[in-house]
Amino acid sequence: MIWILLQRFGFLVVFAAFFCLFAAWNPVFLQGGNLLNVIEGSAVLMIIALGMTLIVATGGIDLSVGIALDFGAAFAVVAMKSYGMDWFGAACAGLIGGSIIGLFNASLVIGLRVSPFLATLSTFFIGSSVQRIFTNGGGPISHRRMPEEFRNLAIGDVYGVPTEAVIAIVLVVLYFLILERSIWGRRIHAMGMQRSAAIIAGIRVNRILLLCFIAASVTCAVGGLIAAANIRMFTPLSGFSYLLDAIAAVFIGAALHPRGRPNVLGTLAGVLFLGMVANGLNLMGLNFNIKDALQGIILVSALALAVAQQRARNRLVS
Amino acid sequence: MSLQCAFSLQGVTKEFPGVRALDNASLDVRIGEVHGLVGENGAGKSTVVKVLAGVYQPDAGLVKIGGETLSPLTPDSVHAAGIRFVHQELHLIPHFTVAESVFLGQERSHRLGLDNKAMRENTKAFLQSMLGVDIPSNRLIRDLTTAERKLVQIARALIDEVAKVVVFDEPTAPLASDEIETVMSAIRRLAEQDIAILYVSHYLSEITDICDRVTVFRQGKTVKVFDTITEHSGRDLVYAMVGRNIADMFPAKGDRAKGPGLEVTGLSDGSAFADISLSVEKGEIFGIAGLIGSGREELIDTIYGLRKAQTGTFQLEGEPLIIKSAAQAVDAGIVLVPRDRRHDGLVLSMTMAENVTLATLDQNASFGLENRRLARERTEAQITALDIRPPNPDTVTRLLSGGNQQKVILARWMVTSARVFIFDDPTIGVDVGAKSEIYQLINDLAASGACVIVSSSDPVELQGICDRIAIMMRGEIIGELQTEELSVDELVSAITGAKYIKNLTDVN
């Protein structure tokens, strides 16, 4: 009985089970403030995971999302601190900084025909080194007198909703429309599923790849702006911590999709799930060191369930 | 060849929900014969193979081997009774040697572990004596030709030398035409050694070539058993398979040329072909014939922008044209129905509607957002026009039959304003009934004024539908033939270079 329930609605059941467990363990979990914390705390990961979703949908993977985030933060902080730009100029500088990473990735993948995995891995290595050199070994660049408007990207709110959550929601909607409802999304999915068939259908796959790499890195740079605004500094290599969670979220999302495709709503579910688990485990007061292990176990079980669910669904079809 | 029965299926019935896949079917294969099994897609051939393999349990009927009823019918009991299967897919590991592949899962050992020497020698001897080929047993699979891999796969099934019956399921499907003979002669050699062979294939020319007797299935029933097969049995086989005469398999031709269409001048790719010029008029069906390695496939890929051209120019309806990518070709109105439809033609996990509208997405969109209702409507119109089954635009294309998959690709190009249609081996793996529908559709395209190029490895098809055929050999067009006064035999001789071609018009 439970097994059938798990097979049919696997991930939802796990999600609900954890939700109840955390709620029962510590009532604080259910309080509005805490749930808002989960959402707010997931905003930057959500933004990075959106960029990752886009690249995985083209059939690749992006290991340099963290570097794009770092570049976004660095360019914005330096623009304000050393060039005295206002918040808007700084934000633009950050996005341009991020786009450099996408351009570099695209030139490796399209120009030199390196596989996305290895291309973005190289970008990751090179980008990390550039940050260390630029900061003389990795020291943060702080900017205490950051313009208030820029600060508000992280700590402000729009009608009571934290700005970073608003930015994440806007991006989720935008990505959903592009990837799941637009003709460009259809082309991206087609090339991600069967590249040669997409080429023969007259789809300009290289142009799409270029645009996707740039869009993904600029999106990650938005995450960088928020991160920089939050702590009023640029911390080199801080983007790395998002990489693995972003990959996990995208693939949880893909496992939820009937065709196993990366998709925006699935990624959203994945990010919220990871955020909820992290928050819940914290509230349970568990040893911080076992958190990652638990997260790994949960991840594997959720994915295994999703696969079982897909099989059950396919059986129903055939 | 003796008349003794090696195995037989008697009154086998197998039902699946909603379908009676086998309906009182029988099959009788004698020792030392090559017995063909033919039928259209869905006639029950693969179900028979699976019943015989012990994968499906029949609802009624018996499987007898050497006169004794095989019971229970399981993969193990079938194997023990000496029935072996050589499946269509190769399933070999590229980095294994020939001997390792042959003995995979049935390794010989001595006290110190694997007896590699014995396995190597055994493999070599087996390949020589049973199959009549000389393949070094320490060579890697990845260095073998496809035909040699097929032979290794056969050796793997037979190396324990207890096989009495071998079932070949489409053994030549992955092979190039000049490799087929190697495999066929190995199969004949097996039959001479008193092994019964069941040969399941779509390719009627092979069936008439190799089989001693043939059983024809239609809709799960055994409709006819041919006790003698000659090279002229093809027509009778087709008649038995589809239950009607396909004398008019090919639509009537007419004088249709209506002025300049696609012109290719001096095209070279620097390796596979050089200095190719051809000109296809509007309303004409232009064939390109050639063996594997003649540069035919590469030429098609280059015209479509998939390969880089080194020299050469294109003109379409008198206007010069630059084609450096498939997207440019499509924009110019040149479209391709590729030879490998499952790999290059369709995005298999997408639905029919999604595949049909893939090249015309911007026509079904406002502000970039897709209008799915419109896309479905357009697809439904094409489904009706081309008679695609099942007539549901939401069907995932992976589930369609070969002929219907081909129609979906064609439908995608019909909704564009394409002016040049290139078909690359359009009916490979398509059953006879769907074939004739596809020929009709190709003919309709030409009649409506499109330029049509058909590149094919099937001379019967080329002779049947084309107005003119260019013969390619070793990267050159060696001549062009009008099909009116051309017989298939003449065409074959021209393609294989066996005979000097009369009526040859020099194109260079």
The tens digit of pLDDT for each residue in A191-222 reads 999 999 999 999 999 999 999 999 999 999 99
Query: What span, in angstroms and rounded, lies between the C-alpha atoms of A271 and A179?
Result: 18
* A82, A86, A88, A92 alpha-carbon torsion, rounded to 10°: -20
pLDDT greater than 80 at residue A287? no
CB-CB neighbors (< 8 A) of A310 in chain B: none
Q: Which of residues 280-319 of B touch A (CB under 8 A)?
A: 304, 306
Residue B359 sits at the chain A interface (C-beta within 8 Å): yes
Residue B373 sits at the chain A interface (C-beta within 8 Å): no
Residue A313 sits at the chain B interface (C-beta within 8 Å): no
Residue A311 sits at the chain B interface (C-beta within 8 Å): no
Mean pLDDT of the A64-93 span: 96
CA distances from B337 to A316, B286, B451 (A): 33, 15, 14
Strand partners, B481: B469
Residue of B nearest to A196 (CA): B344
- Asked whether B221 and B27 are in contact (CB, 8 A), the reply is no
CB distance B306–A190 less than 8 Å? no
Query: What span, in angstroms and rounded, lies between the C-alpha atoms of B270 and A279?
Result: 62
Of the candidates A183, A198, A199, which has its C-beta nearest B365's C-beta? Answer: A183
* B408, B413, B419, B421 alpha-carbon torsion, rounded to 10°: -40
Residue A193 sits at the chain B interface (C-beta within 8 Å): yes
- Asked whether B151 and B135 are in contact (CB, 8 A), the reply is yes
Q: How far is B52 from chain A (nearest CA, A)?
A: 23
CB-CB neighbors (< 8 A) of A196 in chain B: 343-344
pLDDT greater than 80 at residue A1? no
Task: Look up residue B272 and give its two tokens.
Answer: 């596979």
- Asked whether A257 and A165 are in contact (CB, 8 A), the reply is no
Task: Look up residue B337 and give its two tokens.
Answer: 């129905």
Please, which residues have CB within 8 angstroms of residue B57's CB and are 6 or more apart in sequence?
B51, B73
Tens of pLDDT, residue by residue over A252-275, are: 888 888 788 999 999 999 999 889
Q: Which of residues 401-460 of B touch A (CB under 8 A)?
A: 412
CB-CB neighbors (< 8 A) of B359 in chain A: 201-203
Model ipTM value: 0.86
Query: What span, in angstroms and rounded, lies between the C-alpha atoms of A190 and B368?
Result: 16
pLDDT of residue A313: 62
Residue A82 sits at the chain B interface (C-beta within 8 Å): no
Disruptive mutation site among A200, A314, A316 for chain B (greatest number of B CBs within 10 Å): A200
Residue of B nearest to A318 (CA): B399
pLDDT of residue B506: 44
Please, which residues have CB within 8 angstroms of residue B401's CB and are 6 or more apart in sequence?
B41, B42, B389, B431, B434
Strand partners, B109: B114
Residue A183 sits at the chain B interface (C-beta within 8 Å): yes
Is B110 buried (19+), middle (13-18) or exposed (0-12) by CB count in 10 A?
exposed
- Asked whether A76 and A150 are in contact (CB, 8 A), the reply is yes
CB-CB neighbors (< 8 A) of B397 in chain A: none
Q: What three-state secondary structure class fits A116? A: helix
CB distance A200–B306 less than 8 Å? yes
pLDDT over 90 percentage in chain A = 64
Q: How far is A268 from chain B (nearest CA, A)?
A: 21
pLDDT of residue B235: 78
Helix/strand number for chain B, H first, E second = 16, 24
Q: How distant is the alpha carbon of residue B364 from its chain centre?
A: 35
CB-CB neighbors (< 8 A) of A254 in chain B: none
CB distance B343–A193 less than 8 Å? no
DSSP state of B111: T
- Asked whether A97 and A75 are in contact (CB, 8 A), the reply is yes
Query: What span, in angstroms and rounded, lies between the C-alpha atoms of B226 and B241?
Result: 12
Query: What span, in angstroms and rounded, lies between the C-alpha atoms of B347 and B324?
Result: 23
- Asked whether A110 and A212 are in contact (CB, 8 A), the reply is no
CB distance B370–A183 less than 8 Å? yes
Task: Look up residue A22 and give its two tokens.
Answer: 């955390």
CB-CB neighbors (< 8 A) of B369 in chain A: 177, 181-183
CB distance A194–B338 less than 8 Å? no
Considering only CA atoms, which of B202, B190, B182 is closest in space to residue B164? B190
* B106, B109, B114, B115 alpha-carbon torsion, rounded to 10°: -100
Tens of pLDDT, residue by residue over A75-89, are: 999 999 999 999 999
CB-CB neighbors (< 8 A) of A199 in chain B: 306, 326-327, 344
CB distance A186–B349 less than 8 Å? no
At residue B458, what is the residue type?
Answer: D
Inter-chain Cβ pairs, chain A and chain B, closer than 8 A: 75
Give the residue carrying structure tokens 């049509």.
B452
Q: How distant is the alpha carbon of residue A109 from its chain centre?
A: 21
pLDDT of residue B507: 42
Q: What is the mean pLDDT of each run of 10 residues along chain B (508 residues)?
A: 79 82 91 90 84 90 87 89 88 90 88 88 90 89 89 90 90 78 89 92 84 91 89 81 69 78 94 93 94 89 95 94 95 94 92 95 90 93 92 90 92 93 90 87 92 91 92 90 84 73 46
Of the candidates B344, B350, B370, which has its C-beta nearest A181's C-beta? Answer: B370
Mean pLDDT of the A126-135 span: 95
Q: What three-state secondary structure class fits B483? A: coil
pLDDT of residue B216: 92
- Asked whether B508 and B277 are in contact (CB, 8 A), the reply is yes
- Asked whether B298 and B273 are in contact (CB, 8 A), the reply is yes
Disruptive mutation site among B301, B347, B349, B379 for chain A (greatest number of A CBs within 10 Å): B347
Of the candidates A177, A178, A190, which has its C-beta nearest B347's C-beta? Answer: A190
Tens of pLDDT, residue by residue over A101-123, are: 999 999 999 999 999 999 999 99
| Pairing label, strands B213-218, B68-69 | unpaired
Q: Angle, nearest 10°, between helix axes B180-192 and B146-158? A: 20
Higher pLDDT, B197 or A16: B197
The pair phi, psi for residue A145, each rounded to 5°, is -95, 50
DSSP character string of A153-169: HHH-EETTEEHHHHHHH
- Return the H-helix or E-strand segment holding B211: none
pLDDT of residue B203: 79
pLDDT of residue B1: 46
DSSP character string of B385-432: HHT-SS--TTSBGGGS-HHHHHHHHHHHHHTTT-SEEEEESTTTT--H
Query: What span, in angstroms and rounded, lies between the C-alpha atoms of A37 and A275?
Result: 9
CB distance B345–A200 less than 8 Å? yes
Q: What three-state secondary structure class fits B228? A: coil
Is B219 buried (19+), middle (13-18) or exposed (0-12) by CB count in 10 A?
middle
Question: Predicted confidence band at A317 (pLDDT cuts at 50, 70, 90)?
Answer: very low
CB-CB neighbors (< 8 A) of B308 in chain A: none
Task: Look up residue A49 and give its two tokens.
Answer: 């995971």
- What's the residue count for chain A? 318
pLDDT of residue B252: 81
At residue B189, what is the residue type?
Answer: R
The pair phi, psi for residue A112, each rounded to 5°, is -100, -5
CB distance A201–B350 less than 8 Å? no
CA distances from A187 to A59, A173, A179, B337 (A): 12, 19, 9, 19
Q: Angle, nearest 10°, between helix axes B402-414 and B372-386? A: 120
- Asked whether B196 and B35 are in contact (CB, 8 A), the reply is yes
Tens of pLDDT, residue by residue over A221-259, are: 999 999 999 999 999 999 999 999 999 899 888 888 878
Query: What span, in angstroms and rounded, lies between the C-alpha atoms of B472 and B469?
Result: 10
Please, which residues have CB within 8 angstroms of residue A75's CB and are 6 or more apart in sequence?
A90, A93, A94, A96, A97, A98, A221
Q: Angle, nearest 10°, between helix axes A87-106 and A116-134? A: 140
Residue A170 sits at the chain B interface (C-beta within 8 Å): no
Considering only CA atoms, which of B269, B184, B154, B250 is closest in space to residue B456? B250
Query: What span, in angstroms and rounded, lies between the C-alpha atoms of A216 and A60?
Result: 12
Residue A173 sits at the chain B interface (C-beta within 8 Å): no
Higher pLDDT, B15 or A11: B15
Is B245 buried (19+), middle (13-18) or exposed (0-12) by CB count in 10 A?
exposed
Considering only CA atoms, which of A193, A180, A217, A241 is closest in space to residue A60? A193
Question: Predicted confidence band at A9 (pLDDT cuts at 50, 70, 90)?
Answer: low
Residue B346 sits at the chain A interface (C-beta within 8 Å): yes
CB distance B347–A197 less than 8 Å? yes
